[in-house]
Structures are given as structure tokens and as C-alpha cells.
Amino acid sequence: MDQIDPHIADLIARGALFGINHSAGKDSQAMTIKLREIIPPDQLVLIHAELPGADWEGLIEHIEANSGGLPLYICRAVKTFMEMVEHRGMFPSPDNRQCTSDLKRGPIEKLVRRILRERGRSLYVNCVGIRAQESSKRAKATTFEFDARNSKAGREWYSWLPIHQMSEAEVWATIHGAGQQGHRAYAAGMRRLSCRFCIMATEEDLQTAGRLDPDGARLYATTERRLDRTMLMPKKGGQRVFLDELFGFAVPTPAA
């Protein structure tokens, strides 16, 4: 980062704790590299929301291997992704991303409150690796703002998108320039590293994930047919697509 935003410089000077939300994906990795250049290490922590059954293998090991010694805190929701799907009888959607709110954001905020208490701090900056290039919606995201909802009980809480203007090419250049590599799922063909079978994934990424994890592919495809609900939202004006059609195997439709 060539120039530090005055708001960020002031928060650094005031001793704020900066929490890096780290998924082990390329954007989180590049964000960590950039923030380590400008923020004292004792003001940085890594935070990872673990999703058993949905995560790629080796995420935590990958984060630790490229953390530069920063402390890593891990949280986990009381339910898994599939337990949430079964309870609701449907998959989350882009407009109702319960997987993000219940399995990631909620547990992370609870963990951060505990970290602040343990460290005797009240000033916090939540750092997220969202980039404008990813979608038109993310391009419109506010890059820095006061978080009134979490600024309670004496806390002063901010949200910051440090790499919002970085391109994908710049992200990879940052990673390789630091002598690091991305998680091995990228080398296997994945474009994004979210859940193995993500509701926001492209059909190409889902097909790659199905090739890499055929047991998981069959579980998700079978669940779709049993619930008669697709994980992917239909394209505008189009028909819904079941995962077994993408993966190229048949799943018996349950009898009525």
C-alpha cells in the first residue's frame, strides 16, 4: 500500500486491533501481506471461521504457513452447512446468505468480542478481502465505515476493505512477490477458494470441485434431489440446474 488512508493511520496511532478475516483464499492472503507492511504485528490478528464438511482440506495449515507468525484465532458455528440446509429445507441464496451470517459473521463477531476482552482493548478494525473486480455489487461496497451495530459496551468498531481496488492479477503478484503460493486447490483448477461447493460458485468451479471431491459432489447432488431444491439460483429467464447435471451422473428422484 503506497499511501495509508488518514483514517487508518489515525487508528494505527490509537493502538487499534486489526482483525484479518482469513479464508485461506488468495484475497485474504494478499490482504495479510499488504497489512503486515503498514500495521505493527502486535496490532494484527488472523481470524478464520471453520466450516466442517464444507471447507477445503488444509486451510488452517495454509494460513499458518503464510501468516508471518501472526496469531490465528479459529471459530466454529454450532451447526454445519448441511445441518442448516436440512433444517431450512433449502440451500441459502445470494439474497439470503444465511451461510455467511450464521456460519461466519456471527461466530467471528462473538470471537472478536472475546479477544478484545482478553486483550483489554476496545478499538477494533474488521478487515475483509472484498474486491471491486469481483462483482458489480462488491464494486459499490463502502470501503471504510463505522460499525454502529458492533460498537456497544464501550467498543469502537470499524469495517475496512483494504484491497478493494486490487485486480486479480495484482493479488497474485502480491502473493508471488512475497515468495508464497496460493492454496493447492487453485493449482487444481479452482478460480475461487470458498466452500468446496459454494452457492456463489461458477458452474466451472463446481465441476472442478466435483472432480476433486466426488463423494462430496454426490452428497450435495443427492440432497438437492431429495429436497427438490437446487443450490444454484436459475439464471434470469432460465431453468434451474441440478448439480448431478453438472457433475454428469444420475441421482434417482425420490418417489412422491
Query: Is-above-0.85 flag for pTM?
Result: yes
Does residue 185 contact residue 213 with C-beta atoms inside 8 Å? no
**Helix locations, 1-97, DSSP H:** 6-13, 26-38, 59-65, 81-88
> CA-to-CA distance for 55 and 159, rounded, in angstroms?
25
pLDDT at position 100, please? 87
The pLDDT value recorded for residue 4 is 87
Per-residue confidence (pLDDT) for residue 252, from 0 to 100: 61
35 in Cβ contact with 162 (< 8 Å): yes
Q: Which residues of the chain have pLDDT under 70?
A: 1-2, 236-238, 251-256
Phi first, then psi, for residue 248 (nearest 5°) are 85, 30
Instruction: Specify the pLDDT at position 256.
Output: 47
pLDDT confidence of residue 234: 76
Q: Write down the pLDDT at residue 248.
A: 87
**Residues 122-178: tens digit of each pLDDT:** 999 999 999 999 989 999 999 999 999 999 999 999 999 999 999 999 999 999 999
